[in-house]
Amino acid sequence: MASSPRLRVPPKEPEARKGRGMEDNAPGSRSGEAGRPALLSFDEMPEWFQHDNNEWILHGYRPISGSVRASFRSWCYLHNETVNIYSHLIPAAVFLLGEWFILQYLASKYSRVTSTDFVAFSFFMLTATICYALSALYHTLMNHSCTVDHFCHRLDMLGIGVFIVGDIILGVYIIFRCETTLRNIYWSMIGVFGAFTIFTNVHPKLQSHKYRSMRTLAFVATGMSVVAPLIHGLDMFGLDLMNKKAFTYTMVAKVGCLLSGTALYAMRFPESWWPGKFDMCSSHSFMHFLVVCAAVIQMIGASNHRNERRPSKLGSAGGESGSRPLLGAGMLTFTTKGIMFTLGAKIRSNVYALPAAGALLASPPVASNNLP
């Protein structure tokens, strides 16, 4: 007697392989409008993703894509990382284009511009571009996979460390523009601190909870390395000239923005107070906005104090023949990120605190007897 035919049933794909929240483009799967993947809730995301992210953001998550192309396609639709991506992607483009404009600005405004002037300002703009670009990359690819998410997070920390170094280097250059030896000593010190910070936050073996304190201290040490040249500058040049360089009230406003952003992120406000109401624009997004506001405040404050005539080679009228410009290019000083530190076991993304040295980026011309 012939046996009855048996239907071959394909084995069910293991849950561990497919994963919760995995993007599935097969027919009949959940999908949004125009072929976009349906956005998921926090509970639908994989466990590793939940562990690394904000539990108070309830909805708007992209499925785990497993594809670089799919992750970059998310630039074209709204989700809970859209604001975080574009708040750094656009500034990255601005700083990249500003690299050329700042060189033109310096060459046209000042009669005595050296190659070191160009290097200092170009390095600052370049490090800002790297920082913002890597941050946008991280927020774009964080839904790719656990491995790619952690790798891009290290790149994000790399960008922050690089930008802190670039920020402080430009500040030190403005303070000690005419003191080559002191300037090079402080540059070397900052370079060592910055290299150590980048190493501790990028090396895979130092990413565990065991080394979190060391990573935090490395960031704090790099950010606080600006204190030494500040004190040295006060002792050498006096409070009046340093105030002109630092624009105290502008610095206070800028630091206020940065500290406010840090506080919002640390407290997860407002999403922790109203869960589900701020999924698309959360504390991380507000922190980004406040960082941009700090840069705008710095730009406006510095440019308002740079309303000077282009100095003549024969000396300016009014008896200040011995005066010389102290390069500041205040209209292009975009200082944003400062001392980094970790707040809590689950805070693993960008946290901003006091700016490293951004307020020391401009100075009006002064008489020769007041110059360093």
CB of 327 closer than 8 Å to CB of 177 = yes
pLDDT at 202: 85
3-state secondary structure of 327: coil
Token pair recorded at residue 159: 């960008």
pLDDT at 12 over 60: no
pLDDT at 20: 52
Query: What pLDDT band is residue 369 in, cutting at 50, 70 and 90?
Result: very low
pLDDT at 372 over 80: no
Q: What proportion of the chain, given as a percentage, has pLDDT over 90?
A: 26
pLDDT at 242: 73
pLDDT tens per residue, range 98-107: 878 877 777 7
Query: What pLDDT band is residue 189 in, cutting at 50, 70 and 90?
Result: very high
pLDDT at 371 over 50: no
Average pLDDT over residues 308-326: 36
Does residue 111 or residue 50 have the better pLDDT? 50
Does residue 108 or residue 343 have the better pLDDT? 108
Averaged pLDDT score across all residues of the chain = 73
pLDDT tens per residue, range 64-77: 999 999 999 999 99
Does residue 44 or residue 366 have the better pLDDT? 44
Q: How many residues does the chain have?
A: 372
Q: Which residues, listed in sequence order, are joined to residue 355 by a DSSP beta bridge?
A: 338
Residue with tokens 């002037």: 117
Q: What angle (nearest 5°) sits at the alpha carbon of residue 213, between those of residues 208 and 218?
A: 105
Give the annotated binding-site residues.
139, 284, 288
Long-range contacts at 187-196 (CB < 8 A, ≥ 24 apart): 189/225, 189/228, 190/165, 190/222, 190/225, 190/226, 191/165, 193/165, 193/218, 193/221, 193/222, 193/225, 194/161, 194/162, 194/164, 194/165, 194/222, 196/221, 196/222
Give the annotated binding-site residues for Zn(2+).
139, 284, 288
Query: What pLDDT band is residue 215 in, cutting at 50, 70 and 90?
Result: confident
For the domain made up of 76-308+322-370, give the CATH fold.
Rhopdopsin 7-helix transmembrane proteins (1.20.1070)
pLDDT at 72: 96
Token pair recorded at residue 139: 């927020």
pLDDT at 295: 67
DSSP string, 52-101: HS-TT--S-BPPB---HHHHHHGGGS--TTHHHHHHHHHHHHHHHHHHHH
Range ranked top by mean pLDDT from 34-38, 245-249, 314-318, 361-365 = 34-38
pLDDT tens per residue, range 13-43: 343 334 455 555 433 345 555 568 899 999 9
Average pLDDT over residues 265-274: 90
pLDDT at 79: 95
pLDDT at 17: 39
pLDDT at 61: 96
Does residue 216 or residue 189 have the better pLDDT? 189
Quote the CA–CA distance of 213 and 232 in Å, as a whole number: 29
3-state secondary structure of 272: coil
pLDDT at 359 over 60: no
Sort 204 into a burial class: Cβ within 10 Å, 0-12 / 13-18 / 19+.
exposed
pLDDT at 7: 41
Does residue 204 or residue 78 have the better pLDDT? 78
